[in-house]
Structure 1
Amino acid sequence: MSESHHDHHDCCAHHAHHHELVIADLTVHYRRVLALDQVSFATSCGNRVALIGPNGAGKSTLLKAIAGLVPRTSGTIRWRGTEVRKWSREFAYLPQREEVDWSFPITVRGLVEMGRYAQTGWWRKFSAADNAAVDEALESLALADLQHRQIRELSGGQQQRAFLARAIAQEAHVLLLDEPFTGLDRNASRLLADLLGKLSHEGRLVIASHHDIDTAGKLFDEVLVLNTRELAFGPAVETLTVDLITRTFAAQKAAV
C-alpha cells in the first residue's frame, strides 16, 4: 500500500474519509453451512461500528473474515483502496475472552510485544523503536504498572486492555473486537467504552460485535444489523428501530 509508511495519525486522523473499509458481497461457508450471505457495507477511520444480531447471525464470522482468519467463499474486502486478500497487519482481531487460554505463561508486556512481530517479523531483534512502541501502548492503555504481571492474574477489563495494547503496538488501524463488553462489571465497561472512544477519535476504526441493544446507541457511531445477511447499516440512532430489532430477533425467540 502506498501510504503504509506514513505516520499513523497522518494516515488516519487527517485523511479519514480516504481510509474506507469496503465490504462487498461477502459470503462465507463453514463446510456446507452458509454463515454469511452477500454482506456489504462501507465505513471509515474514526468510526465505532457495532455488529448487532441474534446468536448464530454471523457476527464472529464477519470479524474473522475481515481479519483474514476464515476463508471467504466469495466477495471482496477493500481497505484504503486496495483489496485485502488474506491477513493485513493493519487489522487486529481480539477474540472473545473465553476463547483465550489465560493460563498461558506470558506477562502483559510479553503479550503486547507480540504485536510488534507483525512489524518486525519473528526473526529480527527488537530495536529501541520497538521497545518504545510497546512502552507507549502500555502507557496509553494504563497498563504500565501491570506489565510484569502474568495475564492470568488480570481482571477481565485489564485482559481486554492488554489485547488492545497489543493491537496498538502492532500499529493496527482497524480493531476487530468480538463481544468486548461481555463479562465486564460496570466500572470496567465504562473504562473500555472511554478507551474505544479515544482510539476512534485518534483515527482508528473500531468494529465490535455487541449483544446489548440498549447501550449500542451510546457506545457506537454506526450499527450493522446482521442475521446471515445484512439487514440494515447506518448511524446507530437511526438504525436501531424497535421494528427492525423485533424482526431481527423474532426468529431466535421463536426457536427458544
Structure 2
Amino acid sequence: MASLQVSQLSFRYETTEESSPLLDQVSFHLKEGDRACIIGKNGSGKSTLLKIIAGLLPSVSETILLNEQHHPRSALFKGLVAYIPDKPLVYDALTGIEHMTLIQSLWKMNQSEKEVYKKTFLSLCDAFDLTHALKMPVKQYSLGMRYKLFFNCMAARSPELIILDEPFTSLDEASQMQSISLLKEEFSDQCVLFTSHQRYLYSELGNRFLELDHGQLNEIER
C-alpha cells in the first residue's frame, strides 16, 4: 500500500542561520489514492519542496518515508518515484521507442521487467494518441507530444509516488482532461503529489489541497 510521510522538512537557500527558511518544519502524510495539490504564490517554495521529496535537492532537516521505510537519497526510493517537471527531459535525436529502451537500460531492468515496462509504455502511448509518432525523432515532436512521451516513460515504471510540477501546461484542454482521467483511473493505487496554478486542473485532479505560505504547509478545503 503506497504512502508518503514527510516530517519536519526545512530548507533555506542561504547558509546563514539568520536567513528565513523557504520551507519551515513542513510535515504531511499521503496515503494510497491521495492526489494532493500544493497551492501557493510564485516563489513560495512549491517546486523546491517537490525536488527535495524526489531526492533532487538536499534539505536542512527532514524525515521522508515512502511506504514507511525508503529514504529519498536511496536507489530503492528513486526507483519507486516518478518526478515529472513541467519541461520534459527528452532528446531530439532519439525516437520515442529509443527513449523507451533508454529508460530500460538506465534502470537496469531484467528481461521480465523490460517486457512489463514495454507493455505499459505502449498502452500509455496508445491512450495519449502517441503511438503513430514513436518511430519519429523527438525533434519533430510538438511540445505537447514531448511532454506526453516523457510522462509515459516515467509513469510506465509503475511508481508508488508520482510527483508532477505544473503538469499538462503544454497540452491543450482536451489532452489535459484526458491526462487527468488517465491518472485517476490507471494510478488510483499510487500517491500523486503535484503543483498547479490552473484552478480547473487542480480542482479536477486533486482530492486533497495543501497551501504553502511563508514556509508553512497547511491543509485547506476546496
TM-score normalised by the shorter chain: which range applies? 0.7 to 0.9
Flag the structure with higher helix content: 1
Please state how far the C-alpha of 1:20 moved relative to its aligned partner.
1.6
Aligned equivalent of 2:114 = 130
| 1:108-159 Cα shifts (integer Å, max 9, x gaps) | 12223343345417xxxx6364144223212223233322122232333332
Aligned equivalent of 1:106 = 94
**Which consecutive residues of structure 2, in runs of 5 or more, have no partner in the other structure?**
none
Q: Which has the higher contact order (CA 8 A, sep 6+)?
A: 2
User: Given that residues 114 and 166 in structure 1 are in contact (C-alpha distance below 8 angstroms), is that contact kept between their aligned partners in structure 2?
Assistant: no
CA RMSD across the alignment: 2.4
User: Given that residues 141 and 164 in structure 1 are in contact (C-alpha distance below 8 angstroms), is that contact kept between their aligned partners in structure 2?
Assistant: no
Identical positions, percent = 26
User: Given that residues 22 and 77 in structure 1 are in contact (C-alpha distance below 8 angstroms), is that contact kept between their aligned partners in structure 2?
Assistant: yes
- 1:22 equivalent in alignment to 2:5: yes
Query: Which one of the candidate residues 216, 219, 229 is aligned to 2:205?
Result: 219
Q: Hey, what's the Cα distance between the residues in 1 that align with 2:89 and 2:71? A: 29
TM-score (norm: length of structure 1): 0.73
Query: Which one of the candidate residues 38, 43, 46 is aligned to 1:56?
Result: 43
Aligned equivalent of 1:120 = 108
TM-score (norm: length of structure 2): 0.83
| Compared CA separation, residues 74 and 141, structure 1 to 2 (3 A) | same
- 3-state SS of paired residue (1:141): helix
| Compared CA separation, residues 173 and 149, structure 1 to 2 (3 A) | farther
Please state how far the C-alpha of 1:83 moved relative to its aligned partner.
4.2
| Compared CA separation, residues 69 and 228, structure 1 to 2 (3 A) | farther
Aligned equivalent of 1:96 = 86
Aligned equivalent of 1:208 = 194
**Which consecutive residues of structure 1, in runs of 5 or more, have no partner in the other structure?**
1-15, 241-256
Letter in 2 for 1:96: D
- 1:187 equivalent in alignment to 2:186: no
How many corresponding residue pairs?
A: 212
